[in-house]
Structure 1
Amino acid sequence: MRVVVLGITTGLGARLAQALPAYGCTPVGLIRKAAQREPLRAAGVEPVLLDTGGDPVRDGLSRALAGAGAVVLAAGTGTGPGSLGAATATASPAELLSGAAERAGVRRYVMVSALLPDEAVRAELGDRLPAYLREKAKAEHALRERDLDWCVLRPGSLDDTPATGRIRVRTGADPRPDGRIARTDLATTVCNILTGPVPVRGTLAVSAGDVPIRDAVAALRHGRALQHG
């Protein structure tokens, strides 16, 4: 299965690129710079260069999504209106991507949102942090309106600690994460959500915990959440 990823060059995106092949998936990375192509190919990613000059962005998304089985929005900062050029002057990349997935019939869509940005993101954004969080909330809302098997993941603060293979999941109308989660564990969680026989839908808060990732995701498929930890 081809999995199209916006944010493949982020820390989380790199870990998705490493993890997806073990689940029988080919990562397809949406990129803005030609110089990113070869490093991604060397990492086993199929790169798709987006023309950010206007309508060609939409065309590029359509080409990338042809024959895909799932979409992941793993981008952090730089995803607000205008961040992909003229085509995103009135709609964010998140909105464009979910709309393109809906039109292409790519049902499974995982969006990694943000409620607890890590220190690096907070430092990068500075006074723009509130606007960034508002944009993430807007993207969540827009995704809920789509006819997709969507799943919004709200992770705890991301870090590069070794994977534990275990998580804590909270569900509900407005779940909030606590603590932290390793990027590798979040990538594994995304892979499990994308590849199971039954879609996982809804908004989930995910943090480090005590439940094996596979068990936690399986419980969600059966309409319950294991929330130990």
Structure 2
Amino acid sequence: MRIVIAGGHGQIALRLERLLARRGDEVAGVIRRPEQAGDLLAAGAEPVVCDLESASVADISRHLEGADAAVFAAGAGPGSGIERKDTVDRGAATLFADAAEAAGVRRFVVVSSMGADGEPPEGTDPVFAAYLRAKGAADADVRSRAGLDWTILRPGRLTDDPGTGLVTLDDSTGRGEVTRDDVAAVLVGLLDEPGTAGRTLELIGGRTPVEEAVRAVAG
């Protein structure tokens, strides 16, 4: 498969690129800064420099031509303000979905966030609340598209601990932690399992092997 990943220099994306490249897939990662290219090459991915905050649908769709799947794993990141939560976590996700449809790429997987549905609880930090609203709006946009076979993955609190290969994956899991390694492994499973299209899934650490957990939620 050829898979194009938006946010290709992110911590989950780099892990995903390594896993996909290791098994022989052709992987491209969309990055904003040229100096990030070396890390993608080391992960086995082709770096594609394209700023999703300023690019057009046509700019992005040409990088998606011939792809079998697209993964949106971009985010404004720590230290960014409310405005960039909207322009990246919502706006760039919508743009990438537009580009996938324009390029005829149906399989579309989104890395979202637990808590993205509904209004954030009272007292939530304003920047984090903006992040959750942006993710929720992007997810709603993707779910409305008949031209995409989408799956939305909402991990719990992310950690850098080594992956266990054991997870809980379901429509609703309750709060919990999950390693970035295990998120990347689940993304591989979702890409391989078309029966998960049309599902919005939460993910935390658990007791079920990744492949078994993905099979269990397939339609």
Which residue in 2 is equivalent to 1:151? 151
CA contact 1:72–1:109 (8 Å) conserved in 2: yes
Matching of residues 136-175 of structure 1 within 5 Å: 136-146=135-145, 147-171=147-171, 175=172
Q: What amino acid maps onto 1:3 in structure 2?
A: I
The one-letter amino acid of 1:68's match is: A
- Tell me the number of residue pairs that the alignment of Structure 1 and Structure 2 aligns: 205
Name stretches of at least 5 consecutive residues in structure 1 with no aligned partner: 85-90, 118-124, 224-229
Segment drifting more, 41-50 vs 136-145: 41-50
Counterpart of 1:18 in structure 2 is: 18
TM-score (norm. length: structure 2): 0.84
1:128 CA displacement: 1.1
Partner amino acid for 2:169?
A: V
Partner of 2:119: none
Which residue number corresponds to residue 193 of structure 2? 196
Alignment partners' CA distance in 2, 1:204 and 1:196 = 14
Counterparts of 1:61-210 in structure 2, within 5 Å, are 61-77=60-76, 80-83=85-88, 92-115=91-114, 127-146=126-145, 147-171=147-171, 175=172, 177-196=174-193, 198-210=195-207
* Structure-1 separation of matches of 2:52 and 2:185: 31
Contact 1:23 1:191 in 2 (8 A): no
Same amino acid, percent of matched pairs: 38
- Give yes or no for contact 1:4–1:70 (8 Å, CA) kept in 2: yes
User: Against the structure 1 CA distance between its residues 193 and 53, is the aligned structure 2 distance closer, same or farther, given a 3 Å change threshold?
Assistant: closer
Name the SS for the 2:153 alignment partner: strand
Deviation at 1:52, TM superposition (A): 6.1
- The change in CA–CA distance for 1:92 and 1:53 in structure 2 (over 3 A counts) is closer
Query: How far apart in 1 are the matches of 2:15 and 2:53?
Result: 29
Distance 1:83 1:197, change over 3 A: closer
Gaps of 5+ in 2: 78-83, 117-123
Normalised to the residue count of structure 1, the TM-score between the two structures is 0.81
